[in-house]
Amino acid sequence: MAKRIKCECGYVVDGNSDEELVANAREHIVSKHPDMAGVSDETILAMAEEA
Ligand SMILES: [Zn+2]
């Protein structure tokens, strides 16, 4: 099931599965929001919506 996260910076993270979404979100967080790098998978998925 595809999901997406709209980041507060305007960037949209897409994923075809929870695992892919979390991986893509972490990549974005590390490069753009390193202060949020400690966020849990559960928190990332809680921000996601159905794509
Ligand atoms: Zn962002």
**Domains of the chain: which residue ranges?**
3-50
Cα separation, 36 vs 24, whole angstroms: 14
16 DSSP assignment:
S
CA of 14 to the centre of ligand 1 (A): 13
* Start-to-end C-alpha separation, the chain: 8
CA of 49 to the centre of ligand 1 (A): 16
In this prediction, residue 51 carries a pLDDT of 84
Helix (H, G, I), strand (E, B) or coil at 51: coil
CA of 1 to the centre of ligand 1 (A): 22
Cα separation, 36 vs 39, whole angstroms: 6
CA of 34 to the centre of ligand 1 (A): 10
Q: Can you say whether the dihedral through the CA atoms of 14, 47, 23, 7 is positive or negative?
A: positive
pTM of the shown model: 0.91
Model confidence pLDDT, tens digit, residues 21-50? 999 999 999 999 999 999 999 999 999 999
Pair of tokens at residue 50: 């159905």
